[in-house]
Structure 1
């Protein structure tokens, strides 16, 4: 368990949702942490498959025709970095939400603390993963998985491979109303063609495959996706001694309603996705 295990936490094994709703729920969880003294860890997936843009990423880096043709949703995260293609099957995502005054003020120390359960979950699956031991230069800036590999927050496998290690998880943090929110993407499998296809650039799928590994590849296919999700969920729950099966181990109706409203006027609105503009309450979502 971590030093945060004496607080009130809940573990949410979330159902698949669209990208706008998934991002909105993080902000709603931040409100709950501050107003109700209830912190959140969760695992989730994206339905439909979604490209999440980094906060400052230029919308022109997206191949909008490809996304439309392939039925891929597009949203924009609050965190920086490059875009991530979250495949409905190949991606496993997680969120950790806690008040800022309870966690290390140093960003790197906070990453180290919040990534403990991620690394533990991968270890339990038989994946030798850790923070990158050396930097690797960027291949393609608009893509999170093809940017420079940073030892501060990028998780690679196998350990000890140095420049030959490949990225298996990207993690990012932001602060919202005195709350720290960390989310991350873990590759269960790889979809190189779709991951490079969502970007408006001259990229070969082999470029992605050479830089990225996955749980499925590292375990020789011995760990199915359902087992991987549950293993990560249990590692997160044990890390903070969360309520895993009680009344609080799911979203409240008021939270879901708040997320619907926030998704409509922010994370699902064309104004936010393309220009980082947040609609006022009551303005219509553009589709």
Structure 2
């Protein structure tokens, strides 16, 4: 079993959320600390993938009025609004830290098992027989598809499915950060995307989902959670990253 700090944070601004995730990755790399964190957003916020062009956001009119940050991880843009957001940092000593596809699959299958308790029919995209191949790479993460994404069948159209979970990773000195979002409902800043409530008519909340999912993750990844306050130096590191990096136009508009 790996001791793992469990954090459930209140809503914060986007720059702070991204700064904490990077600080936790550094801690995993430097101190071997594992952390599972659930968090929320103070206001609807668009997060750009590390490699995305800032100018590309002009292609998505609906999100123009939202705040914007840039993530440390790659992938498409995420519209953080009606969702559960998580981050998982594992040190190099954890077996899953070295297996990128396996970590995606383990985290996502843990969620699938939880959703099944509410009779919600979800699956990995690679296992979904309604999946359609596409060579396009849309601006938004939830409009893209990869094999480890979680899709949910719609009650209104059982032959079709929509992506409800997307995750991305970043590695540093052997440690790994995986963070992502579970789409609970449609946002007015991305109305083309449908969440669990829209697809299945099941009004899930973050509070409803977090506890069973953390338990499923503990079993899947052999984690033993400890409820521990963030250390002072971790908080200082996050404040520095927020101030010097994630609140900076130079970082947000770097591409």
Structure 1-normalised TM-score?
Answer: 0.75
- Equivalent residue, structure 2, for 1:283: none
Instruction: Work out whether residues 42 and 233 of structure 1, in 8 Å CA contact, stay in contact via their aligned partners in 2.
Output: no
Q: Distance in 1 between matches of 2:45 and 2:105?
A: 27
Instruction: Work out whether residues 13 and 233 of structure 1, in 8 Å CA contact, stay in contact via their aligned partners in 2.
Output: no
Q: When the two structures are aligned, how many residues end up with a matched partner?
A: 246
The reply to whether residue 53 of structure 1 matches residue 48 of structure 2 is: yes
Instruction: Work out whether residues 29 and 172 of structure 2, in 8 Å CA contact, stay in contact via their aligned partners in 1.
Output: no
- Equivalent residue, structure 2, for 1:215: 196
- Equivalent residue, structure 1, for 2:86: 94
Instruction: Work out whether residues 22 and 72 of structure 2, in 8 Å CA contact, stay in contact via their aligned partners in 1.
Output: no
**Residue in structure 1 matching 2:78, options 80, 84, 106:** 84
Kindly state the Cα deviation for residue 162 of structure 1 after the two structures are TM-superposed: 9.4
- Equivalent residue, structure 2, for 1:285: none
Residue 15 of structure 1 aligns to a residue whose secondary structure is strand
- Equivalent residue, structure 2, for 1:137: 134
Q: Distance in 2 between matches of 1:60 and 1:222?
A: 35
Instruction: Work out whether residues 8 and 37 of structure 1, in 8 Å CA contact, stay in contact via their aligned partners in 2.
Output: no
Q: Distance in 2 between matches of 1:138 and 1:162?
A: 24
1:220–1:98: structure 2 CA closer, same or farther, 3 Å change rule?
same
1:10–1:140: structure 2 CA closer, same or farther, 3 Å change rule?
same
Question: What residue ranges of structure 1 are gaps of 5+ in the alignment?
Answer: 1-5, 196-204, 277-287
Q: Distance in 1 between matches of 2:95 and 2:108?
A: 13
1:101–1:13: structure 2 CA closer, same or farther, 3 Å change rule?
same
- Equivalent residue, structure 1, for 2:69: 75
1:74–1:113: structure 2 CA closer, same or farther, 3 Å change rule?
same
- Equivalent residue, structure 2, for 1:280: none
**Residue in structure 2 matching 1:270, options 244, 249, 253:** 249
Residue 216 of structure 2 aligns to a residue whose secondary structure is helix
Instruction: Work out whether residues 27 and 176 of structure 1, in 8 Å CA contact, stay in contact via their aligned partners in 2.
Output: no
Residue 100 of structure 1 aligns to a residue whose secondary structure is coil
**Deviation digits for residues 112-135 of structure 1 (CA, Å, limit 9, x no counterpart):** 233333323333343221211334
Residue 2 of structure 2 aligns to a residue whose secondary structure is coil
Kindly state the Cα deviation for residue 22 of structure 1 after the two structures are TM-superposed: 1.0
Instruction: Work out whether residues 11 and 237 of structure 1, in 8 Å CA contact, stay in contact via their aligned partners in 2.
Output: no
**Deviation digits for residues 124-162 of structure 1 (CA, Å, limit 9, x no counterpart):** 343221211334426662111122x121x2110129x99
- Equivalent residue, structure 2, for 1:123: 116
- Equivalent residue, structure 1, for 2:237: 258
Q: Distance in 1 between matches of 2:4 and 2:122?
A: 26
Residue 14 of structure 1 aligns to a residue whose secondary structure is strand
- Equivalent residue, structure 2, for 1:29: 24
Structure 2-normalised TM-score?
Answer: 0.84
**Deviation digits for residues 183-228 of structure 1 (CA, Å, limit 9, x no counterpart):** 111101111x412xxxxxxxxx4xx2xxx44222344234344313
Kindly state the Cα deviation for residue 74 of structure 1 after the two structures are TM-superposed: 0.8
Kindly state the Cα deviation for residue 237 of structure 1 after the two structures are TM-superposed: 4.4
1:258–1:94: structure 2 CA closer, same or farther, 3 Å change rule?
same
**Residue in structure 1 matching 2:183, options 183, 187, 190:** 187
**Residue in structure 2 matching 1:13, options 3, 8, 11:** 8
Q: CA RMSD in A?
A: 2.7
